[in-house]
Amino acid sequence: MSEHDEREDYDDEPWRRRWGTEEYVLVPASSIIAFAVIQCVLAVFALAIPDVFYVTESAPHLTIPVAAIAIIWNLAIIWGAWGMHQFRRYRLSLGAAVMSFVPIPCIYCVPVSAPLGIWTLVALLRPDVRARFAAVARAAKNSLSPSTELPP
Tens digits of per-residue pLDDT, 36-56?
999 999 888 878 776 666 656
Q: Of the given ranges (66-80, 85-99, 109-123, 131-145), which has the lowest mean pLDDT?
A: 131-145
> Which of 16-20, 29-33, 105-109 holds the top average pLDDT?
29-33
Burial of 118 (0-12, 13-18, 19+ CB in 10 A): middle
pLDDT reading at 78 higher than 80: yes
Question: Which amino acid would we find at residue 69?
Answer: I
64 vs 12: CA distance, rounded Å: 57
Domain boundaries, the chain: 21-139
| Contact criterion met (CB below 8 Å) for 46 and 53 | yes
- For 10, 83, 115, the CA distances from 119, given in Å and listed in that order, are 28, 16, 6
* pLDDT given at position 56: 60
Q: How confident is the model at residue 23 (pLDDT cuts 50, 70, 90)?
A: confident
